[in-house]
């Protein structure tokens, strides 16, 4: 994702009712924030937010939290939602490394990772959102039957992710190297911004679903 500094984005995020500015205060209290006990699903690295915003509109009985590291990216998602009525959607600007400070054990029902940064250098392996270190964090916040869904067009990141699921002692419930040709797994698929871009270029999209 090309990052351009957007002047005033931090201030605009702080003022938005969609953004949670002190997410650590909501650890264990997300049902109060949403005013209901509906399941909470999160997307980590949501970029401009098309995927999670669409899901929130389609499923009013599920709560969604989008997490994005950069304010210059998050502000785009917030701007797009201004005119929409999505009471079941919140955004957090934070590094997912600190996810366990924000959600209590069992508080999250599902985690979506879409076109996560590949971090190709060996010394950056732990930064990959599908590394076993991240699976440990997901283990600490997901409910017992919670799942992680991951999509990418990056072959080596996908192969790495399949191996990390096994290393973390999780198991795969689904995997495909060509999602868009898999009629069953495509049912209800919501495309992300990157998915639209890369599939239009002819890149096969890979997907896995993992649980414990």
**Catalytic residue numbers, as ranges:** 117
User: Which residues inside 136-195 make contact with ligand SAM, applying CB under 6 A?
Assistant: 192-195
**C-beta separation of 198 from 153 below 8 A:** yes
Distance of CA 24 to CAs 78, 92, 100, Å?
20, 10, 9
Q: Is 68 in the site for ligand SAM (CB under 6 A)?
A: yes
Q: Work out which of 73, 102, 142, 148 binds ligand SAM, going by CB under 6 A.
A: 73
- Rounded to a whole number of angstroms, the minimum distance from the CB of residue 36 to ligand SAM is 26
3-state secondary structure of 29: coil
- Rounded to a whole number of angstroms, the minimum distance from the CB of residue 117 to ligand SAM is 5
**C-beta separation of 98 from 27 below 8 A:** no
Question: What are the two backbone dihedrals, phi and then psi, of residue 197, each rounded to the nearest 5 degrees?
Answer: -65, -50
- Rounded to a whole number of angstroms, the minimum distance from the CB of residue 52 to ligand SAM is 9
Closest CA to 150 of 176, 125, 184: 176
Q: Is 55 in the site for ligand SAM (CB under 6 A)?
A: no
Q: Work out which of 15, 95, 155, 163 binds ligand SAM, going by CB under 6 A.
A: 95
* Binding footprint of ligand SAM on the chain (CB under 6 A): 1, 44-47, 67-70, 73, 95-97, 114-117, 192-195
């Amino acid at each position: 994702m090309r990052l351009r500094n957007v002047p005033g984005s931090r201030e605009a995020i702080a003022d938005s009712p969609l953004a949670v500015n002190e997410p650590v205060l909501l650890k264990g209290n997300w049902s109060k924030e949403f005013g209901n006990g509906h399941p909470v699903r999160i997307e980590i690295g949501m970029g401009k937010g098309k995927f999670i915003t669409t899901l929130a509109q389609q499923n009013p009985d599920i709560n969604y939290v989008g997490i994005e590291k950069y304010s210059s990216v998050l502000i785009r998602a917030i701007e797009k939602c201004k005119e929409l009525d999505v009471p079941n959607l919140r955004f957090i600007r934070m590094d997912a490394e600190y996810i366990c400070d924000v959600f209590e054990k069992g508080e999250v029902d599902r985690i979506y990772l879409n076109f996560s940064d590949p971090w190709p250098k060996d010394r950056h392996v732990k930064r990959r959102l599908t590394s076993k270190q991240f699976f440990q964090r997901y283990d600490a916040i997901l409910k017992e039957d919670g799942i992680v869904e991951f999509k990418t067009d990056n072959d080596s990141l996908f192969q790495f992710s399949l191996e990390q699921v096994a290393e973390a002692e999780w198991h795969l419930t689904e995997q495909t190297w060509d999602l868009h040709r898999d009629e069953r797994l495509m049912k209800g698929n919501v495309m992300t911004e990157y998915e639209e871009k890369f599939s239009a270029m002819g890149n096969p999209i890979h997907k896995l679903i993992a649980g414990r």
